[in-house]
């Protein structure tokens, strides 16, 4: 499903963020990527969404070879990958429903399709009844749920979540993780970055550790011990 072969990323001329990363992720997997701040976790995910371009190495997702990707195909790539950000990136002047609907609008879904789909997704993330709320009226945990709803509303095969719990207190953080597990059970590949050790320990999933831009360990379900 996701294949990285000796992928490196150098910002500018000097800053090496990733150094010959090789990683293979199967369909339906839930992979946690851990590492201290500045290790290169965000960079890794940004390469997958083509926010950044790898300096060298090969990236293949499904049947898409990133070297052959043309600029004008990037929007279509992004429609296949759901993204959740640490800072939510919601549109402040749109309410909950509109924020989620937005992801469907830009791909040309009709209002009817949108009215049908959005409530179901809001249900999945536990935001039923809060459709009319503005982002400013929501707690951090609720905002992140809106962001997740927006990321999954197009039913992507892959969901990448970059420290989605980074700004949340532990109880809300845990709610978010549960939602991501649920989404994974529905058949979506999930890549989650975090530096929260507790989440890693409790989740019992495959754990990839990054340090200074290199993968220093890659442990399957249950093997990882901090």
Ligand X SMILES: Nc1ncnc2c1ncn2[C@@H]1O[C@H](COP(=O)(O)OP(=O)(O)O)[C@@H](O)[C@H]1O
Binding residues for ligand X (CB under 6 A): 11-12, 15, 17, 35, 37-43
Q: Does residue 78 belong to the site contacting other proteins (CB under 8 A)?
A: yes
What is the pairing mode between strands 15-25 and 2-11? antiparallel
* Residue 40's binding partner out of other proteins, Mg ion, ligand X, none, with CB under 5 to 8 Å set by partner kind: ligand X
Among 2, 33, 42, 104, binds Mg ion (CB under 5 A): 42
* Residue 43's binding partner out of other proteins, Mg ion, ligand X, none, with CB under 5 to 8 Å set by partner kind: ligand X
Q: Which of 180, 176, 158, 151 is nearest to 166 (CA)?
A: 176
Closest separation in Å from C-beta 41 to Mg ion: 5
Closest separation in Å from C-beta 127 to ligand X: 27
Closest separation in Å from C-beta 161 to other proteins: 14
Closest separation in Å from C-beta 5 to other proteins: 20
Contact at 8 Å (CB) between 70 and 10?
A: no
DSSP 40: S
- Which of positions 57-76 make contact with other proteins (CB under 8 A)? 64, 69, 71-76
Measured distance CA(119)–CA(101) in Å, rounded: 10
Q: How remote is the C-alpha of 30 from its chain's centroid?
A: 11
Which residues contact other proteins (rule: CB under 8 A)?
Answer: 49-51, 64, 69, 71-79, 83, 89-92, 102-103, 105-110, 150-151
């Amino acid at each position: 499903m996701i294949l990285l072969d000796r992928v490196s990323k150098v910002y500018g001329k000097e800053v090496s963020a990733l150094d010959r990363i090789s990683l293979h992720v199967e369909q339906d997997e839930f992979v946690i990527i851990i590492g201290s701040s500045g290790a290169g976790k965000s960079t890794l995910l940004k390469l997958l969404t083509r926010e950044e371009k790898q300096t060298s190495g090969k990236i293949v997702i499904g049947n898409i070879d990133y070297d052959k990707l043309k600029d004008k195909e990037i929007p279509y790539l992004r429609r296949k990958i759901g993204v959740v950000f640490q800072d939510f990136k919601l549109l402040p002047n749109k309410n909950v429903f509109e924020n989620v609907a937005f992801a469907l609008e830009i791909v040309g879904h009709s209002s009817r399709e949108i009215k049908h789909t959005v409530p179901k997704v809001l249900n999945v993330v536990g935001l039923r009844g809060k459709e009319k709320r503005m982002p400013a009226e929501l707690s951090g945990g609720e905002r992140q749920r809106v962001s997740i709803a927006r990321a999954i509303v197009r039913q992507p095969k892959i969901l990448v979540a970059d420290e989605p719990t980074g700004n949340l207190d532990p109880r809300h953080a845990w709610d978010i993780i549960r939602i991501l597990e649920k989404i994974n059970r529905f058949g979506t590949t999930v890549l989650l970055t975090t530096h929260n050790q507790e989440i890693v320990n409790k989740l019992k999933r495959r754990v990839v550790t990054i340090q200074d831009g290199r993968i220093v360990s890659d442990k399957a379900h249950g093997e990882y011990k901090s």
